[in-house]
Amino acid sequence: MLLRFRVANHRSIRGEQTLSLTAAPRRGEAKRTQPLQVAGIYGANASGKSNVLDSLRWMSDAIRLSHTHWKPTGGVPRRPFKLSPAGRETPSFFEVDFLHEGVRYSYGFEVDDEVVLGEWLNTFPRGRVRKLFDRGGPTDFTFGRGLAGETQRIRKLTRPNSLYLSCAASNNHPLLSGLYERLTSSGAYFIQHGELHERFRLDVVKHILDAEYATDDINELLRIADLGVERMELVETGAQEKKVVLRRRMEDAPPLSLEEESAGTRAWLSLLGHTLSILYIGGTLLADEIDSSLHPLLSSTLIRMFKDHDINRHGAQLIFSSHDTTLLGSLLNEEILARDEVWFTEKDDSGATSLYSLAEFHTRRDENIERGYLQGRYGAVPYLNFESIREIFKKGPVLKP
């Protein structure tokens, strides 16, 4: 379970930015460490919302792939800030605080184009920091007494351009393998909008249907969504191939393939596979443009599933970007997102993204957050001068009909 994520020099993120997933203290309260299940990121187009999610995905991929897939002499495939020459010359920084089996850990690293410049792992038993390992350069390691196992052998196997955590997991280190698993395959699923990514998500649904371990749950969620679909099935198409078809509620209606369904039906269905997987095992779902092709009541239902402790029994988290401002208000008289669950991105004149929380604003309890956001009260909205648009058409050519 993520508690905090920090990043610097990744794509449009130049200076260090922090995304906190712990509840903000209310007035008069001491600082709290209660984890949040949901964080929604809002901002204008091209403000960096997707890049915040991408930085988390890149960190997870680096942990998963650096030892086994990065070329030994290929450097580090990072994505620094490109709108300034200093971006290529400055290290990229990633750090995450998280809970694993009830224990808090802090893990991070710095990289340039060629090597790992620093890497560290700390734990916090009884609230006090304890160093497990620290890497002061590509080959400069120190280890804490709390880290058992074949640390020196793994150190010798760690390349200058790969992460120690990645190498340790490949060599079955007892503790670090579990942390690696938490931060990679069982820790973060990343889903994007677009036809290619939709097909990938639908393949996950197809796998669930084929394995028959959550078919009833998916079909029930399809029916609840009121899409006119009763159930979906896998049918043989020949040559040992299978495809997904959806059966309508009318008994005499022929089944339809996914390609024949509406964009909204495919969007909801394609989200269900990853959502159920992450709710069943715990971890973090990173969803870019969660509202794409979805009715606000469906996207709000997805958020409520993660915030409901009877449904989300393993502490799964949802971090998403959206333009759907209705999620900032109340649907059916129920608050969807609390103030510390709402984040904004905004770009400065140099094209660099800043990330900040709604909790930083002193809002009234009865304040209309949706209206305030659209009015620009919290920033992170595009500035559109409609009079300038009028001028374009006044000067434009006049064509005869």
Q: Quote the strand ranges of 88-155, DSSP E.
A: 92-100, 103-111, 116-123, 130-135, 141-143
Q: Quote the strand ranges of 138-217, DSSP E.
A: 141-143, 188-191
Residues sharing a CB contact under 8 Å with residue 160, sequence separation 6 or more, in sequence order: 114, 115, 116, 138, 139
Answer with the residue of higher pLDDT: 283 or 253.
Answer: 283
Same-domain status, 183 and 318: yes
Residues sharing a CB contact under 8 Å with residue 50, sequence separation 6 or more, in sequence order: 192, 288, 289, 321
Residue 147, pLDDT > 80, answer yes
Same-domain status, 263 and 291: no
Residue 401 forms part of a structural domain: no
Is residue 78 a contact partner of residue 11, using CB atoms and an 8 Å limit? no
Residue 394 forms part of a structural domain: no
Same-domain status, 171 and 309: yes
Residues sharing a CB contact under 8 Å with residue 280, sequence separation 6 or more, in sequence order: 214, 314
What's the one-letter identity of residue 16? Answer: E
Residue 390 forms part of a structural domain: no
Q: What pLDDT was estimated at residue 187?
A: 59
Same-domain status, 85 and 157: yes
Same-domain status, 10 and 138: yes
Question: What distance in Å separates the CA atoms of residue 52 and residue 263, rounded to the nearest whole number?
Answer: 26
Q: What are the pLDDT digits (tens) for 15-74?
A: 999 999 999 877 656 565 689 999 999 999 999 999 999 999 999 999 999 999 999 999
Candidate ranges 97-101, 198-202, 234-238, 278-282; pick with highest mean pLDDT? 97-101
Name the residue range of residue 363's domain. Answer: 1-187+283-385
In the structure encoding, which two tokens stand for residue 87, read together? 């971006």
Candidate ranges 155-159, 325-329, 388-392; pick with highest mean pLDDT? 155-159
| Helix residue spans in 233-262 (DSSP H) | none
Q: What pLDDT was estimated at residue 53?
A: 95
Question: What distance in Å separates the CA atoms of residue 177 and residue 175, rounded to the nearest whole number?
Answer: 6
Is residue 31 a contact partner of residue 66, using CB atoms and an 8 Å limit? no
Residue 201 forms part of a structural domain: yes
Same-domain status, 244 and 327: no
Nearest to 21 by CA among 355, 365, 377: 355
Question: What distance in Å separates the CA atoms of residue 177 and residue 169, rounded to the nearest whole number?
Answer: 4
Same-domain status, 322 and 365: yes
Same-domain status, 120 and 241: no
Residue identified by tokens 């809970």 is: 99
Number of domains in the chain: 2
Same-domain status, 254 and 293: no
Mean pLDDT of 325-344: 88
Q: What pLDDT was estimated at residue 228?
A: 84
pTM of the model: 0.91
CATH number assigned to the domain comprising residue 378: 3.40.50
Question: What distance in Å separates the CA atoms of residue 151 and residue 145, rounded to the nearest whole number?
Answer: 11
Report the residue count for the chain.
Answer: 401
Answer with the residue of higher pLDDT: 217 or 5.
Answer: 5
| Distance (Å) of CA 177 to CA 17, 60, 64, 111, 248 | 28, 14, 11, 22, 45
Same-domain status, 106 and 148: yes
Same-domain status, 159 and 301: yes
Nearest to 197 by CA among 265, 110, 289, 279: 289
Specify the DSSP class assigned to residue 35: B
Mean pLDDT of 145-155: 95
Poorest-confidence range of 31-40, 207-216, 279-288, 359-368?
A: 207-216
Question: What distance in Å separates the CA atoms of residue 141 and residue 297, rounded to the nearest whole number?
Answer: 51
Residue 143 forms part of a structural domain: yes
Question: What distance in Å separates the CA atoms of residue 23 and residue 21, rounded to the nearest whole number?
Answer: 7
Residue identified by tokens 């050519």 is: 397
